[in-house]
Amino acid sequence: MPAEVAVGAMARDQPDSVALALHPLAQQFAMAADGFGPFAGSPFRRFLVAPPQLHLSEHALALHFLLQGSQSLIDVVVANEDLHGGGSPGKDAQGPGPRSVARLCQYLAPSAQAVKEPSGCFTRVRRHHIFGTMALLKIARMGHPVLRAAASPVDDPTAPWVARLVEDMIETMEDAGGTGIAAPQVHAPHRIAVFRVPEERVTEMPGDSAQDLTVLINPVVELLGQERAFGWEGCLSVPGLRGVVPRHLRIRYRGTDLKGNIIDREVEGFHARVVQHECDHLDGILYPQRMTDHRLLVFLEELQRHPIDLAAFLSERRAT
């Protein structure tokens, strides 16, 4: 049991005390416990995940007086690494202001709000006393049905549920070390993709350049020309493997962003490759299905031990 959870458990024997759990894992614990609802038992329904700008580690005494009249809250879970002392200064660095405290009091009410999701998604309940900002989502792996089905168009790209999903997708992608992720990869069957083009992956082609994080909703890809190139690809849904995939060198893609603005670009090289890869997910296609020679589907660890000269391999294959 994590230390912060043990501290919270001891506090229940002293109803007048408030337990502060200064560890980001506490948020995940509180949210998981809350999800069990009545099956979790009363010890698990007494958590608060507070916003980091309150800096509760510096104002624990004030928080104690604030909460001492609450009969339904004992344990206070602060899920933010900045409270260890390494946070960056900002306008909230002086501690909680009246607006922050008012917002905290509002969330103390033992109520829940159902969030209506579009057809095809479960309806989830957001509890007011747990208000973490983003979450890591479970990544679907090759073989799961959600990765074989065509995703559904998004009726309103500006809808709040789309923004929440995209925030979680971005955090999940960055945590996994990916350059892109599509909604079906996190079990959300919607035509949404997120990607970036790092400077170190840019080729020498004129239409290939570094690209900041891009959110692409309802994308349409148009293949330009017949020229294709082979290149190594990996995928968060195919962990541990790499494969050589032929992709068109030039494409045009269109879609909308979270504000409903139109995105329309002609790109080349790696930029074109990553967009084709992510948009394939929206049509139920994984990169191994695009491969023309599965001898080049390898484990990453083996590829690092035994590098493949791709140019020589392809030249030899054409000669035979």
Helix or strand run (H / E) with residue 256: strand 241-256
Secondary structure (3-state) at 274: helix
Closest CA to 146 of 94, 184, 99: 184
| Residue 171 annotated among the catalytic residues of the structure | no
Closest CA to 9 of 63, 19, 29: 19
* 112 φ, ψ (degrees, to nearest 5): -135, 155
Q: How far apart are the first and last CA of the chain?
A: 61
Active-site residue, from 278, 301, 302, 316: 278
Secondary structure (3-state) at 73: coil
Q: Take residue 66 and report the two structure tokens written for it.
A: 């604030």
Distance, in Å, from the CA atom of 243 to the CA atom of 236, rounded to the nearest integer, reads 13
Closest CA to 83 of 59, 107, 108, 48: 59
Enzyme catalytic residues:
278
